[in-house]
Amino acid sequence: MLFDSWGPMHTFEPLKRAQQSLKESETRLQAFFENSPNLVFLKDRQGRYLHVNKEFKRALRITEEQIKGKRDDEIFSLEQAASFHTNDRQVLDAGVPMEFEEVSFQEDGPHTSIVHKFPLLNAEGEIYAIGGIATDITERKRAEKELLALRDELAAELTAMTRLHEFSTHLLTIDELQSLVEEVLDAAIASQNADFGNIQLYNHEAQVLEIVAQRGFQQDFLEHFRCVSDNGTACGRAMKLRERVIVEDVETDSEFAPHRHIAESAGFRAVQSTPLLSRSCELLGMLSTHFRRPHRPSLRDLRFTDLYARHLEEVLERKQAQQVLQMTQVELARVSRLTTMGELAASIAHEVNQPLAAVTNNSSACLRLLASGNLKPEVLRRSLEEMVADGTRASAVIARIRAFIQKTPGERNLVDMNEIIQEVLGLTARELCENRVQIDRQLTEPIPRVSGDRVQLQQILLNLIMNSIEAMVAVTNRPRSLWVQSGVYESDNLLIAVRDSGTGIGSDADRVFTPFFTTKAHGMGMGLSISRSLIEAHGGRLWAEPNSPNGTVFYFMLPVGARTPS
């Protein structure tokens, strides 16, 4: 009884509990399977879908009915299906879990997933199905790709910066303006991927831009744009606006119309012009690049061009300042030369004028009396005596002035004549260069110092060198050469020679030292005379000799050390 009443109960309860627990575990598994954020699927050995979870159906926009019992080739493209199938096959063959990267096409495009596939075994240890869990890594992949692109971009930027740095350092080593201009042009063309280019410098006097370097243009273009000052061209406009001008297409740019034919024959459709400006915004030049196709260089493309332009601007500005300085120095030297002589000439003219006026008056009176037949011998003698006296007075004035110069003590310092020679050659460098005079320095180093007035000695040398240049202007059939030599003569004298290949002074070399002797239209004829007085005031000598085979040599000798003139 007890058995009867308890027996069935006894066997039913554990089964029920077991069923219940199985159900619970199935529900848990189902919930786990269903709520996984990954795509989960189960296929049989033939590749037919047994189960897919909610996320799988959502991501692939597919219903339970559409997928259950279907194979990949019935749902996906053949290509995709083939790749899924190949991977499934591998797992079935190997019988172990494996990992794959698979691409599936969803509504918003391709998605990449890491798919873990694993075999499911029955009690006999046979594979009866294949399970898979896919993790979508599309977003991670995109971020990775972006990161890689950024890394590449940074690496490219770094390379470009390094190249720029190297190039800038290289530019600093270029002294010669033309080479610098050429290098900058090449670099600008390369950095913008341009087809042609040119650099113009601004001619302040003519107020035009002139091409000094170009790449890829023919003669007709160079002729047409030899001097630019109008508004139509890109460089003309940039010149007026003092800012970059880009003409994206010369065919549609109305202002460019007058130059279209030349652009067509040169073969460019687009052009950009970047002005080169000084710090005070003065125009120094223009850097232009040209393109075969309509084009607008990006700011990024122009970045390096701007840096090169800044470098060129600085060099141009420095060169300009140097030129102005040199011109000022020469001008100063010229003015100081004229001032010294002008002052002397004025005082001479003033002093000499009086006796000269008296001589003239006396002679005119005699002439008048002679014409009227009233010139008595007595009057004539008196007049002649007065004239002789006035003449003597006039030459006494000159002698006095020369004596005055000789007595003028001036500054006396121990000076290095080689240094003075170099200074004066520096001052006359432009003059020498413009007149194509070759200069040959033959200086004895070291040279003993002499006691003298630095400025006066400079002026004497300046006068000799300027005279030499002027004497060579007419020479066209032989080189124009100037030799400046320094040496020691008989141990206690310095001998300086200024030798030229000019027209020469003829046989009477000494007459050039006569006051007022000049063969020049605007000459004063006082330079050599004063120079001789100044050298004598230093206890030295100045003389001239014909040079062989042509030209003249001026020598001056100065006592070494602090010796005073006797």
Binding footprint of ligand ADP on the chain (CB under 6 A): 463, 467-468, 471, 500, 502-505, 512, 517-520, 523-529, 552
Q: Two tokens at 373?
A: 């037949």
Of the pair 68, 478, the CB lying nearest ligand ADP is at: 478
Of the pair 233, 467, the CB lying nearest ligand ADP is at: 467
Of the pair 353, 519, the CB lying nearest ligand ADP is at: 519
Q: How far is the CB of 341 from ligand ADP (least distance, A)?
A: 8
Q: In sequence order, what are the residues at sequence separation of 6 or more whose Cβ sits closer than 8 angstroms to the Cβ of residue 348?
A: 397, 398, 401, 515, 526
Q: How far is the CB of 521 from ligand ADP (least distance, A)?
A: 10
Q: How far is the CB of 478 from ligand ADP (least distance, A)?
A: 14
Of the pair 428, 463, the CB lying nearest ligand ADP is at: 463
Q: How far is the CB of 422 from ligand ADP (least distance, A)?
A: 20
Nearest to 554 by CA among 532, 538, 537, 521: 532
Q: How far is the CB of 518 from ligand ADP (least distance, A)?
A: 3
Instruction: Identify whether the C-beta of residue 329 lies closer than 8 Å to the C-beta of residue 428.
Output: no
Instruction: Identify whether the C-beta of residue 305 lies closer than 8 Å to the C-beta of residue 274.
Output: yes
Instruction: Tell me how far apart the terminal alpha carbons of the chain are, to the nearest angstrom.
Output: 168
Q: How far is the CB of 469 from ligand ADP (least distance, A)?
A: 9
Burial (Cβ within 10 Å: 0-12, 13-18, ≥19) of residue 546: middle
Of the pair 327, 338, the CB lying nearest ligand ADP is at: 338
Of the pair 68, 511, the CB lying nearest ligand ADP is at: 511
Compute φ and ψ for 53, nearest 5 degrees.
-90, 180
C-alpha torsion sign, points 225, 229, 231, 234: positive
User: 208-215 and 196-203 as β-strands: parallel, antiparallel, unpaired?
Assistant: antiparallel
Q: What does each C-alpha distance from 230 to 213, 242, 243, 464 come to in angstroms?
A: 20, 14, 15, 48
Of the pair 185, 466, the CB lying nearest ligand ADP is at: 466
Of the pair 267, 504, the CB lying nearest ligand ADP is at: 504
Which secondary structure element, helix H or strand E, spans residue 544, and what is its range?
strand 541-546
The C-alpha atoms of residue 237 and residue 259 are separated, in whole angstroms, by 13
Q: How far is the CB of 326 from ligand ADP (least distance, A)?
A: 23
Instruction: Identify whether the C-beta of residue 294 lies closer than 8 Å to the C-beta of residue 249.
Output: yes
Q: How far is the CB of 200 from ligand ADP (least distance, A)?
A: 41
Q: How far is the CB of 529 from ligand ADP (least distance, A)?
A: 6
Instruction: Identify whether the C-beta of residue 428 lies closer than 8 Å to the C-beta of residue 466.
Output: yes
Give the CA angle between residues 256, 262, 263 to the nearest 5°. 65
Of the pair 181, 528, the CB lying nearest ligand ADP is at: 528
Q: How far is the CB of 231 from ligand ADP (least distance, A)?
A: 50
Of the pair 183, 500, the CB lying nearest ligand ADP is at: 500
The C-alpha atoms of residue 128 and residue 121 are separated, in whole angstroms, by 6
The C-alpha atoms of residue 209 and residue 240 are separated, in whole angstroms, by 11
